[in-house]
Amino acid sequence: QSVLTQPPSVSAAPGQHVTISCSGSSSNIGNSYVSWYQQLPGTAPKLLIYDNNQRPSGIPDRFSGSKSGTSATLGITGLQTGDEADYYCGTWDSGLSSWVFGGGTKLTVL
């Protein structure tokens, strides 16, 4: 059971837009920054978003992040088949004194 809650799966057609939610509490998302990671099949995670909504160099602006209260959201526009992956949110939990991840969301581009 992950501390951060994500939907197990989402799907959408190529070219469409999708959002992935990440729900937490006041001890984690509520008082800390959220980052998002993309894990393509059989590969290591890759940083997509940090500081809730900042994209590292090289990440296309099709990817966006937002945070409100104790929830965060990853948005992906102009979906491509190459976006099929597992997506994880993560943040620091001050109550647990531990870095925590969501359970991951599998994105299928139909």
Partner 1 sequence: QLQLQESGPGLVRPSETLSLTCTVSGGPISSSNHYWGWFRQPPGEALEWIGVIHYSGSTYYNPSLKSRVTISGDTSKKQFSLNLNSVTAADTAVYYCARIDSSTSGSYYMDVWGKGTTVTVSS
Q: Which CB atom, from 18 or from 88, has the smaller least distance to partner 1?
A: 88
CB 70 to partner 1: min, Å = 16
Q: Which CB atom, from 14 or from 56, has the smaller least distance to partner 1?
A: 56
CB 33 to partner 1: min, Å = 4
Classify residue 12 as exposed, middle or buried by CB count within 10 Å of its CB (0-12, 13-18, 19+).
middle
Classify residue 65 as exposed, middle or buried by CB count within 10 Å of its CB (0-12, 13-18, 19+).
buried
Q: What is the Cα 23 distance to its own chain's centre?
A: 11
Q: What is the Cα 90 distance to its own chain's centre?
A: 8
Provide the binding-site residues for partner 1, judged by CB under 8 A.
2, 32-33, 35, 37, 43-47, 50-51, 54, 56, 88, 90, 92, 96-104
Q: Which CB atom, from 43 or from 81, has the smaller least distance to partner 1?
A: 43
CB 16 to partner 1: min, Å = 26
